[in-house]
Structure 1
Amino acid sequence: MPGAAIAMTVNMRNREAENDRHSGQPEVEAEPKEAPSCCGKTSANSPVFKCVNKVMDILNHMAFQTILYMAFVGVFQLLTSTMRIREEFYLDKHVMDRIIENHFDSSHNTFESIRRTADVYEWGNNVLWPGLLGDMGPCNSFVGSINVPKECVDEVWPDGDASFHLVDATPYDVSELVERMDLMDWTEGIIIRQSRAAPTKCDNTPTLGVCYPELLQGEGNQAAYGHNWTNPTQPPLHPYTFLTTDDLGSNPDGQISASIPSMRPYDTSGYVAVVIPFFSDTYLEPEEGPAANVTDYRLTYVNTTNGKQAKYYCVRLSPNGLHVKQLCDAGTGGNGTGRLLGTVRSAIEEMWNDLKRGHYIDAKTRVMTITLQLRANHVGVRYRMTMMLEFTALGAILPSYDVETRIIERSLERNMAIYADVALGMVIFFCFIELVELLKTAFDNKPTYMPWSYLSDMWNLMDWANFVLFYLVWWRVQTVYQAIDESPEFVPCSSYLCSAVGYFDDWKVMTRFRSCKVYLSLCVCIQLFKVLKFLSQLVPKTGLATNVLRKSALDLLFFGVTFIVSMLAFSMMLFVQLGPIMEDYIDQGPALISLFRALFGDFDIDEIMDNSSGYLNALLFLGYLFVAVFIMLSLFLAILAEGQIAVRDDDMVRFPADGPPKPSELQEKGLETPFWKNEYGVVSYFGNGMKSAISKSVGHFSASKTGDEAESSTEEALPSASSKPNVETANVDLASLMNEVRALREEMAASRGLGAAAGKGVTAAADAKPIGGGLGLVSPEPLPPPAVDKGSGTTPAAGSEVQRTSTSYLV
């Protein structure tokens, strides 16, 4: 019995210990017990310490951290959904198709192909203003002319005749223009601004006249200028006047060019012209004069929040920021009623061409920016586009544009603050866990603890980078709300252009929202990369990529230094050779970017040939491709291949095919004991669980089915109460079965070398004792126990065929 065996074992051990003491062997001194603390308990066994350990075990448990991190990822996805919606792209495509990519002449020139001053005004007449005003026209070729009066209307339904259905077309009324304006609302206005070069003395270069070099930030011209086209000998009545950044309420940090060959910062002060279309609930008589003497349109204008009804279509214009012209479309009724006459569009086109006639762009102009502040009211998207035309000192024009978007839907604005605060709480919690884990690790390994062992783990660095980036996101969200609270909707205007003219530059909100999205994009990227860590812990098979990079990190670092040096060498060479004639190599930075693009096949060898007098530049470029692609990239892949081999070797130690891993081998390679039995991890665990559940269900179903069949067969085999049992037949059947058993035992005994002794335990059926309550059945004597294998000292297994056969026949 098990209890007796245990007692016997204890007694034997006691006797052995007694014999050891009598044999004269020295007794091993017992280790001293730890002295109890003042409270009667050791610090390690104190309730507080145990509670802290249990809490830390829960917090550090893989399942808990995985669930919590998935919730963390979900909150960030919700926060992202408040800053990005797909409708932003729809509005951008609407603007690109009508303003940037639309052709302004028969040569299919667009904004990005503007090459001279005349193209600027042509683009405005045929693309900019038609795209904003009805998306039709111009209806005549003398746009904005003071000599040829305009006798047609451009803002019409496309239901007329002739080209583009403009002849005898139906003009829009105010309600129809309101519907169109909701699609692309630009009632906040457009500002046109330019900066000019100041005259200076070019000491190193002789010139024919006054020297006007490239414009540097803070060194622009501030003198008034202009041309009086009605009386050229007289100064202009309304000269273009310089306004400071404070006057304009613009970004004091300046505007950076989006053109790759330039990328220069420019001041946001300068000479401005403003166009503000609006709807009014009161008809405003035409006025013109200084801004302070013209009725403030904001007293009667209609916007999306004041609840007023749009009855009249009006515009407020200023060619220099000081002189203002304001009027409304009188309509066919003469007082703003009926079908519109196109007065607003005609006034805008006239002012644009007055800029042309007043020589707004001349040889001193260095940069001209056109800023559009648009809204899509149906979907709650705000859109700010800055189109920039840089006029170099050599006469070349560099067009570029920059786009910023922001969600203005009220519910998303509220949710952005809520999700940001929830995410902040989770980040603080994760920071606390990381700090506690760091301190606990330092406390447990105090003599040998090295801080860089924590920092050497790339996942820890990614965690802290993610936390820092989110703090920047949360801070930027607060500054966005602060900038919204400083808008004229809530506080009075602080700049001259806003208070006097009525144009407010929303640069502060848009700039802060853009930087917030930059931080959030980096934060979400790192956060989703961290999912790979949990995925590799749940399914070790998925950790191949991260493990290979970890194994190859040091080699990749030093190889990267070599690769960058080689790239710099080739970029410097091509910068010298191709920089003067190709935009992609104009400077060292663009040249380096172009070479990186060439690694992925994005290069134009034909352009190099077209700009070269021979094959030298092409051969130099092909030499770079050979070194970078066939040598450097091959070495890069070889390093990754070596890392993968090392990872595979470690996996063979961690997940051997012949059983659990050996601790000695794990310790030798510096590997941790794996949590899972194989590299498929949780997939294998759930797969085995499902397989076991299915097997049990099938086994239970089969057992119940077999039991039912056996019961039915037993009922069929038993004699009925009315029938008389055939004793002789039963005895004959039993005797035949016993003969078969005897023959089988003899055969098995012969195979074991025991001869015929195996059959001695079976008696004849005639000598057997009767059983069965007088039915005449016989009961054979019990068979002897299975023979013992003298070589091994064991009996045959309980599940062997002999045992099963004997049992089945004797029961």
Structure 2
Amino acid sequence: MVHPRFVVTRKVKQNFEQKSHHDKAATATGVVPGGTFDHDDEETDHPFVRRRSSVLAQLKEGIFTNNPRFWETLTYIIFLMIFTWVCMNAQGGSKSYSLAQSVRNSFSSFESISSPGGWFDFMQTVFVPAVLPVSWYNNDPLTASDLRQVNMQFLLLGTVSARQVRVKPNTCNVIKGSKMSVYADICYGPYSSSNEDRTPYGPTYATDVNMQKFNYQTALELGCKVGCSTRGVLNSYSGGGYKEDIPSPRNLTAQADAIAKILQLKTDRWIDKRTRAVIVEFAMYNLATNLIAVVQLLYEEDEAGSVSAFIQVIALNIKHLYSDQGSAVDLVAEGVMLFMVVGYHFLSLWHWYKVGFSKYWKSLWTVIDWVNFVLFYVAFGLRYGALLNAKSATFPPADNEFVYYAPAANMVSMWKYVMGFNAILTWFKMFKYFGHIPFMSRLIRIMGACVEDVVAFMICTFVALNGFVFTFMLTYGNQMSSYSTWTTTLMTLYRMCLGDWDYDSIYKYNWVTGRIYFALWTILSICFLLNMFI
């Protein structure tokens, strides 16, 4: 008869044997150490062990009474409070979400565009009336103070710009000498910096037949210094392009002027086969909340005929672009936080010098500290890079001036992303300063003991998961977008583990193998999830 047994790692076994030996020694002597933290994890019904102290008592003794790193802990708590203040201040509150959502709702029909003709129709019928209203809902004309207000709520900053990026001809991977190579000159490949077209195009002028209408402008010429690229759904694009300003004067003819410009671009066939992205950019400001919204409407086409229309709204407080618009408290908090990060880094380097290379890098906390420091430096680089980018942009701009706010706003967004990820490490480091408290040290010991088993289990899970990824991708990759690539298939199968699946589509596109694959993967995923209880 085979008896069931638990399979444990050597580390777990050693920890268990050491603990058992310690228990026997304490029982034999009948002496229990007097500190609150000693034997705090023992069973309460043991005759020689007093009852476990409460969490509050452990915190009190761990922080104030029996804390060998009291001042270091207190300093880190202060740093954590400042860090939390900066993070809360960076978000902008719930009003920033309301502002962004209001813009998305106003232009929601943009995301249903599927052709260049649809883009021109949207600009004429939806975009211009929303951005440049000239009358109230009862057709009463607006006064001069009410003009240039998006949806009658937000002040339009400067003018509206439409920027296009294009590709060169003969940029497809056509094999030379093949039967299709004769068509290479009329083939336009994927967008990249090397494939980007910068030559003039469009109709010629009557006064000079050698001068074409649409000319390329670099990102620097448009007012961007660093971080100028634009990320879309299908690709990333440079900060330059063929820019056309949409007229937005402060008068009652604003709508007619803007529509006339759009119709002229349509007549000149501004968008053609070489076009890979058209980016409509503008900024608006809300006086009541002191928030600025940088809006980009991205229309994309790739070499395979895929079309994407995406609305990107970056809502941020104006003080994140112009430091003189914020309070002194915000500047002091950010300055103190940067000073403390540099101080912690210096102390870490000094500790490295004292203990030596091997002993210093042996600790996992050292690795966490360095990742934490690097992320802080990257975050502050993005923060001050945004200020540098916005320095050359006037605020508020003139009505006929286009200000390139998008690069600075993107850097503020990246700053928030880095700070958000770094918040995990910054708060996790609390265990470093409170790891001697029993209920925290208990969790650290458990996590450390099970690392080897968790890694082994994750490797086995990935092997099985990867096999099903290729199965679903090859079976449904041409019919369902959620299985079109390796990464999207991986995330789709992960969502299926959580109960989110589209069985009807799986059955529709392959009713023979679809049911088999679906049943096999769901059964296997249940087995994976049940392992958390073993």
Q: TM-score range by the shorter chain?
A: 0.7 to 0.9
Amino acid at match of 2:244: A
Q: Are 1:585 and 2:483 an aligned pair?
A: yes
Shift in Å at residue 93 of structure 1?
Answer: 1.3
1:351 is aligned, of 261, 278, 290, to: 261
Task: Determine if contact 1:257/1:388 at 8 Å carries over to the other structure.
Answer: no
Shift in Å at residue 584 of structure 1?
Answer: 1.8
Amino acid at match of 2:102: H
Amino acid at match of 2:336: V
Task: Determine if contact 1:420/1:474 at 8 Å carries over to the other structure.
Answer: no
Amino acid at match of 1:133: L
Amino acid at match of 1:556: V
2:197 matched residue in structure 1: 221
1:88 matched residue in structure 2: 96
Task: Determine if contact 1:82/1:407 at 8 Å carries over to the other structure.
Answer: no
C-alpha separation between the residues in 2 aligned to 1:254 and 1:435? 35
2:240 matched residue in structure 1: 269
Instruction: Give matches, 1:70-219, under 5 Å.
Output: 70-86=77-93, 87-99=95-107, 101=108, 110-134=109-133, 155-158=134-137, 160=138, 169-177=139-147, 183-200=153-170, 202-203=174-175, 204=178, 206=180, 210-219=186-195
Task: Determine if contact 2:368/2:425 at 8 Å carries over to the other structure.
Answer: yes
Task: Determine if contact 2:297/2:309 at 8 Å carries over to the other structure.
Answer: yes
Task: Determine if contact 1:391/1:397 at 8 Å carries over to the other structure.
Answer: yes
Task: Determine if contact 1:390/1:399 at 8 Å carries over to the other structure.
Answer: yes
TM-score (norm 2): 0.75
1:67 matched residue in structure 2: 74
The secondary structure found in structure 1 opposite 2:271 is coil
Task: Determine if contact 2:230/2:236 at 8 Å carries over to the other structure.
Answer: yes
C-alpha separation between the residues in 1 aligned to 2:410 and 2:380? 15
Taking structure 1 as reference, are residues 275 and 236 closer, same or farther at Cα in structure 2, changes over 3 Å only?
A: farther
1:622 matched residue in structure 2: 519
1:380 matched residue in structure 2: 290
C-alpha separation between the residues in 1 aligned to 2:66 and 2:353? 15
1:81-115 residue CA offsets vs partner (Å, 9 max, x unmatched)? 3322122112101111101x2xxxxxxxx222212
Shift in Å at residue 211 of structure 1?
Answer: 2.2
Taking structure 1 as reference, are residues 419 and 68 closer, same or farther at Cα in structure 2, changes over 3 Å only?
A: same
Taking structure 1 as reference, are residues 413 and 124 closer, same or farther at Cα in structure 2, changes over 3 Å only?
A: farther
1:721 matched residue in structure 2: none
C-alpha separation between the residues in 2 aligned to 1:530 and 1:113? 46
Q: Are 1:465 and 2:341 an aligned pair?
A: no
Task: Determine if contact 1:476/1:512 at 8 Å carries over to the other structure.
Answer: yes
1:418 matched residue in structure 2: 332
Taking structure 1 as reference, are residues 255 and 600 closer, same or farther at Cα in structure 2, changes over 3 Å only?
A: farther
1:483 matched residue in structure 2: 389
Task: Determine if contact 1:195/1:271 at 8 Å carries over to the other structure.
Answer: yes
Shift in Å at residue 456 of structure 1?
Answer: 5.2
1:603 is aligned, of 481, 501, 516, to: 501
1:648 matched residue in structure 2: none
2:57 matched residue in structure 1: none
Amino acid at match of 2:371: A
C-alpha separation between the residues in 1 aligned to 2:98 and 2:326? 18
C-alpha separation between the residues in 1 aligned to 2:318 and 2:495? 37
C-alpha separation between the residues in 2 aligned to 1:577 and 1:550? 41
Task: Determine if contact 2:148/2:156 at 8 Å carries over to the other structure.
Answer: no
1:631 matched residue in structure 2: 527
The secondary structure found in structure 2 opposite 1:245 is coil
1:768-806 residue CA offsets vs partner (Å, 9 max, x unmatched)? xxxxxxxxxxxxxxxxxxxxxxxxxxxxxxxxxxxxxxx
C-alpha separation between the residues in 2 aligned to 1:534 and 1:516? 27
1:568 matched residue in structure 2: 466
Shift in Å at residue 129 of structure 1?
Answer: 1.6
C-alpha separation between the residues in 1 aligned to 2:190 and 2:345? 50
Shift in Å at residue 366 of structure 1?
Answer: 2.0
Taking structure 1 as reference, are residues 472 and 417 closer, same or farther at Cα in structure 2, changes over 3 Å only?
A: farther
Instruction: Give matches, 1:525-540, under 5 Å.
Output: 525-532=424-431, 537-538=436-437, 540=438
C-alpha separation between the residues in 2 aligned to 1:181 and 1:97? 11
Amino acid at match of 1:587: T
Task: Determine if contact 1:197/1:220 at 8 Å carries over to the other structure.
Answer: yes
C-alpha separation between the residues in 2 aligned to 1:413 and 1:507? 24
C-alpha separation between the residues in 2 aligned to 1:475 and 1:242? 30
Taking structure 1 as reference, are residues 178 and 216 closer, same or farther at Cα in structure 2, changes over 3 Å only?
A: closer
C-alpha separation between the residues in 2 aligned to 1:420 and 1:236? 55
1:669 matched residue in structure 2: none
Task: Select the structure of larger CA radius of gyration.
Answer: 1
Taking structure 1 as reference, are residues 252 and 115 closer, same or farther at Cα in structure 2, changes over 3 Å only?
A: same
RMSD (Å), alpha carbons: 3.6
Instruction: Give matches, 1:332-351, under 5 Å.
Output: 342-351=252-261
C-alpha separation between the residues in 2 aligned to 1:235 and 1:605? 60
Task: Determine if contact 1:188/1:276 at 8 Å carries over to the other structure.
Answer: no
1:166 matched residue in structure 2: none
C-alpha separation between the residues in 2 aligned to 1:525 and 1:578? 37
Task: Determine if contact 1:375/1:381 at 8 Å carries over to the other structure.
Answer: yes
1:485-540 residue CA offsets vs partner (Å, 9 max, x unmatched)? 343569xxxxxxx99x84231344223322322222122222222335556644x3
1:401 matched residue in structure 2: 311
Taking structure 1 as reference, are residues 211 and 471 closer, same or farther at Cα in structure 2, changes over 3 Å only?
A: closer
1:679-707 residue CA offsets vs partner (Å, 9 max, x unmatched)? xxxxxxxxxxxxxxxxxxxxxxxxxxxxx
Taking structure 1 as reference, are residues 241 and 437 closer, same or farther at Cα in structure 2, changes over 3 Å only?
A: closer
Q: How many percent identity over aligned positions?
A: 18
2:271 matched residue in structure 1: 361
1:258 matched residue in structure 2: 232
Shift in Å at residue 192 of structure 1?
Answer: 0.9
2:216 matched residue in structure 1: 242
Taking structure 1 as reference, are residues 390 and 179 closer, same or farther at Cα in structure 2, changes over 3 Å only?
A: closer
Task: Determine if contact 2:160/2:248 at 8 Å carries over to the other structure.
Answer: no
1:265-292 residue CA offsets vs partner (Å, 9 max, x unmatched)? 22333322112535xxxxxxxxxxxxxx
Shift in Å at residue 75 of structure 1?
Answer: 0.6
1:524 matched residue in structure 2: 423
Q: Which runs of 5+ in 2 are unaligned?
A: 1-63
Structure scoring higher RCO (CA < 8 A, sep ≥ 6) equals 2
Amino acid at match of 1:80: C
1:109-152 residue CA offsets vs partner (Å, 9 max, x unmatched)? x2222122222122212221222123xxxxxxxxxxxxxxxxxx
Taking structure 1 as reference, are residues 547 and 205 closer, same or farther at Cα in structure 2, changes over 3 Å only?
A: farther
C-alpha separation between the residues in 1 aligned to 2:425 and 2:334? 17
Task: Determine if contact 2:248/2:257 at 8 Å carries over to the other structure.
Answer: no
Task: Determine if contact 2:131/2:151 at 8 Å carries over to the other structure.
Answer: no
Amino acid at match of 1:122: D
Count of aligned positions? 458
Taking structure 1 as reference, are residues 416 and 607 closer, same or farther at Cα in structure 2, changes over 3 Å only?
A: farther
Task: Determine if contact 1:462/1:526 at 8 Å carries over to the other structure.
Answer: yes
TM-score (norm 1): 0.51
The secondary structure found in structure 1 opposite 2:163 is strand
